[in-house]
Amino acid sequence: MKKKVIFLVDMQSFYASIEKADHPELAQQPVIISGDPERRSGVVLAACPLAKKHGVQNASRLWEAQKQCPQAIILRPRMQLYVDISIKITNILNQFTDLVEVYSIDEQFLDVTASQHLFGEPLAIAKNIQATILNKVGIKARVGIGPNKILAKMACDQFAKKNKDGIFQLDFDNIEEYMWKLPIEKMFGIGRRMEQHLKRMGIRTIGHLANFPLHILKKRWGINGEVLWQTANGINHSPVTVKTHDQQKAIGHHMTLPRDYNRLEDIKVVLLELSEEVARRARFKDYMGGTVSLSVRGTSFKTPTGFQRQLKLTTPTHFDLDIFHAVCLLFQKYWDGLPVRSIGVTLSQLQIAQQYQLNLFNSELKKEKINQALDFVYLKYGPTALIRASSLNEAGQAFHRAEKIGGHYK
Q: Is residue 219 part of a domain?
A: yes
pLDDT at res. 363: 65
Question: Residues 88, 14: one domain?
Answer: yes
Question: Residues 151, 38: one domain?
Answer: yes
pLDDT at res. 60: 81
Distance CA 244, CA 138 (A): 28
**Catalytic-role residue among 19, 107, 273, 277:** 107
For residue 410, pLDDT beyond 60:
no
For residue 381, pLDDT beyond 70:
yes
Confidence of residue 400 (pLDDT cuts 50, 70, 90): low
CA distances from 115 to 111, 119, 121 (A): 8, 6, 9
Q: What is the mean pLDDT of residues 327-356?
A: 88
Report how far Cα 26 is from the mean position of its chain's Cα atoms.
28
Question: Residues 193, 322: one domain?
Answer: no
Q: What is the pLDDT of residues 22-70, one digit of tens each?
A: 999 998 999 999 876 555 457 788 899 999 999 998 878 888 888 999 9
Confidence of residue 347 (pLDDT cuts 50, 70, 90): very high
Neighbours of 249 (CB within 10 A): 8
| Residue 185 among the catalytic residues | no
Q: Is residue 206 part of a domain?
A: yes
Domain boundary among 168, 188, 216: 168
What rounded mean pLDDT belongs to the chain? Answer: 88
Q: Is residue 245 part of a domain?
A: no
CATH number of the domain where residue 214 is located: 1.10.150.20
Q: Is 106 annotated as a binding residue?
A: yes
Whether the Cβ atoms of residue 261 and residue 40 lie closer than 8 Å to each other: no
β-partners of residue 7 are 110, 145
Q: Is 246 annotated as a binding residue?
A: no
Question: Residues 154, 186: one domain?
Answer: no
Neighbours of 174 (CB within 10 A): 15
| Of 393, 280, 278, nearest in space to 343 by CA | 278
Question: Residues 211, 255: one domain?
Answer: no
For residue 408, pLDDT beyond 60:
no
Q: Is residue 281 part of a domain?
A: yes
pTM: 0.74
CATH number of the domain where residue 317 is located: 3.30.1490.100
Find the domain containing 330 and state its range: 250-409
Whether the Cβ atoms of residue 296 and residue 341 lie closer than 8 Å to each other: no
Q: Is residue 240 part of a domain?
A: no
DSSP collapsed to 3 states, the chain: CCCCCEEEEEECCHHHHHHHHHCHHHCCCCEEEECCHHHCCCEEEEECHHHHCCCCCCCCEHHHHHHHCCCCEEECCCHHHHHHHHHHHHHHHCCCCCCEEEEECCEEEEECCCCHHHHCCHHHHHHHHHHHHHHHHCCCEEEEEECCHHHHHHHHHHCHHHCCCCEEECCCCCCCCCHHHCEHHHCCCCCHHHHHHHHHCCCCEHHHHHCCCHHHHHHHHCHHHHHHHHHHCCCCCCCCCCCCCCCCCEEEEEEEEEEEECCHHHHHHHHHHHHHHHHHHHHHCCEEEEEEEEEEEECCCCCCCEEEEEEEEEEEECCHHHHHHHHHHHHHHHCCCCCEEEEEEEEEEEEECCCCCCCCCCCHHHHHHHHHHHHHHHHHHCCCCCCCHHHHCCCCCHHHHHCEECCEEC
Question: Residues 126, 207: one domain?
Answer: no
Q: Please count the structural domains in the chain.
A: 3
Q: Is residue 141 part of a domain?
A: yes
Question: Residues 404, 317: one domain?
Answer: yes
Confidence of residue 389 (pLDDT cuts 50, 70, 90): confident
| Of 210, 361, 371, nearest in space to 288 by CA | 371
Question: Residues 336, 313: one domain?
Answer: yes
Question: Residues 211, 279: one domain?
Answer: no
Whether the Cβ atoms of residue 8 and residue 153 lie closer than 8 Å to each other: yes
Domain boundary among 147, 168, 189: 168
